[in-house]
Structure 1
């Protein structure tokens, strides 16, 4: 009696869209990096976990200190997933770990980075979004909590200075506590997120607690680790 070979499992393939930001450095690079540091200090957590396209279109192969640009971005926690506008043959970039670029993609226009200022009498306000947040949309509210009455689609992103409450499924990205609010939390009726982050600490879908997938969940920061709890 011969043993039969079990059938191979079916490979499941599906599409997923992401919102990537484009950074366009300008010469002199020392001044541009100083300006970037200033922006990061005023908008803590804005770049946390975000995929970045590096556009070298305003630079040339002779731009001073070009070789140090990509390492400088990595030191600042900026994750570059693609480079455009430059040439791999430039001597200054021959030592770069040049990521493969992406074909296509549609520009969404310049994005305003939220400023983290300290008013004399800070008032926490809540933004209520009554419609679902669709793929490609980016909701930024540094002044307090964000309440989403619907779902957050894959490829969408919600950033808040306080906590984020999603009454539907969270399939996109949720970034709470921007500006250094470690006590912020993320609440959702169904955790299916691509990324969640609080005060600059983040977890991707692969790093989240699998026991909480597609369930009512709250996310909190415990030390430097995100913790996932049932939402009761």
Structure 2
């Protein structure tokens, strides 16, 4: 028997979901470009899912999708669609309809088994990416702007945090981010993220803990 040329395997990816509400396509394009300018390393040319649950039935999907593609984003699927006409327009554009559900048990189990931690004792420079699979990530030094920390477990930063921190990358919403000096470009837990301008100013430069409560990012002082 000849060796097969392809193989299907399951995997997990962390994707941003853009929730689009009723607006002119041009307004959506400008709003996306503004976000990209704030964190180009995270959003530029990024693959995204578009949630259309907030759209009215008379929206022009071709015009809206073209406006979003003009920003450089790559739409890989659409979720939250309950209107048959809109569904047909999306399918005609060649995009799949996705269902957002609870995190797969496989992902949760993998994250729950994260008993070890990856320890980084050197500063994380701009342009560096540290990826920690199935474990926590501990950084004892500072993280420069333009650097990125990604962990399936929790993230601990004991220096100045100026880059991006993405905890719970496998989808575990129980993960948290702990930081002694919070000044990041972006923080994310299980795909829920804040840009720097969304973080309450009273926590900037301070010791803080971020976690999810009912699927929403929250922040508290780290005492």
Q: TM-score scaled by structure 1? A: 0.55
> Residues 117 and 216 from structure 1, CA distance in 2 versus in 1: closer, same or farther, beyond 3 angstroms?
closer
Which residue does the alignment assign to 1:52? 44
Alignment of 1:82-93 (within 5 A): none
Residue 75 (structure 1) aligned with residue 47 (structure 2): no
Structure 1 runs (4+) deviating above 2 angstroms are 42-50, 73-77, 116-119, 121-124
The Cα of 1:75 is off from its aligned counterpart by: 2.3
Which residue of 96, 100, 111 maps to 2:66?
A: 96
Tell me the distance in 1 between the aligned counterparts of 2:161 and 2:133: 19
Would you say the 8 A contact 1:168–1:189 is kept in 2?
yes
**Matched-pair contact (CA < 8 Å) for 1:220–1:228:** yes
Where does the alignment leave 5 or more consecutive residues of structure 1 unmatched? 1-34, 55-69, 78-91, 102-115
> Does structure 1 residue 139 correspond to structure 2 residue 130?
yes
| CA-CA distance at 1:122 after TM superposition | 4.0
Query: SS in structure 2 opposite 1:202?
Result: strand
Question: Radius of gyration: which is bigger?
Answer: 1
Question: In structure 2, the residue corresponding to 1:75 is in which secondary structure?
Answer: strand
For 1:88-136, what per-residue CA distance to the aligned partner results, in whole angstroms no more than 9, with x for missing partners?
xxxx99x7221279xxxxxxxxxxxxxx6977x9452200001011000
CA contact (8 A) 1:44 1:200 kept: no
* Structure with a larger share of its residues in strand: 2
TM-score w.r.t. structure 2 length? 0.57
For the structure 1 residues 123 and 230, does the alpha-carbon distance in structure 2 shift closer, same or farther, using more than 3 Å as the test? Answer: closer
Where does residue 202 of structure 1 map in the other structure? 193
Number of aligned residues: 149
